[in-house]
Amino acid sequence: MIYLCRHGQTFHNREGRLQGRIESDLTPLGQAQARAMAALLDDLAPAAERAYWRLVASPLRRARHTAEAIGERLGLGVDFDERLVEIDVGEWSGRLREEVRGENPHLHGDDAWGFYAPGGETYEVMTARLGAWLAEQTAEPERRLIVVSHGVAGRLLRGLYAGLSKEETLRQDIPQDAVFRLASGRIERIDCAPVAEPAEHA
């Protein structure tokens, strides 16, 4: 069984910027979302079975901080795996989404547009690395994993697990306030308790 999470909201998320492999910290809302995921997982992974669970995350800071919030609540250490990192969007890294789309009108309506970034990662390369990681986990069905990854990476992991087409995979939602349970060939979305955006103080 795998519980798959996306990191909480980052400042780049809030600004509408493409992150890819560059770092951006969690906003106060993102930190609250991480704690909400931790609280939900505290219920989903019973304390009596906690010793059988493993917490794994992308090493990028936004995923690491989200995973650390979960680990603190559940009493689990965090392991990191480079294969869980987000798509590399090459020359588009850090740029505003709307700016990139405005410069590339031919990509409007194409759900795969992020894979066309100059110097970026292709769909095939990304699915190969994520598929290799997923094959290792599903080879041992008794494994119990909590995984913290990213938006596009999470989409591809769920698509690979469920055997979805490329089009179906890229149309999936990428919430930052929910956990996906991958078990017995099925995917179930489980929403966290709603969180309010904390006030930011100067």
Residue in 7, 12, 65, 150 annotated catalytic: 7
The full DSSP string for the chain is -EEEEEPPPBHHHHHTB--TTS--PBPHHHHHHHHHHHHHHHHHS-GGGGGGEEEEE-SSHHHHHHHHHHHHHHT--EEE-GGGPPP--GGGTTSBHHHHHHH-GGGTT-TTGGGG-TT---HHHHHHHHHHHHHHHHTSTT-EEEEEE-HHHHHHHHHHHHT--HHHHHTS---SSEEEEEETTEEEEEEPPP-PPPPPP-
Write the CB contacts of 87 (distance below 8 Å, at least 6 apart in sequence). 20, 114, 115, 120, 121, 126, 150, 152, 153
Catalytic residue status for 15? no
Catalytic member of 12, 68, 86, 150:
86
The tokens describing 110, both together, are 């194409």
Per the annotation, the verdict on 201 as an active-site residue is: no
Q: Which are the catalytic amino acids?
A: 7, 86
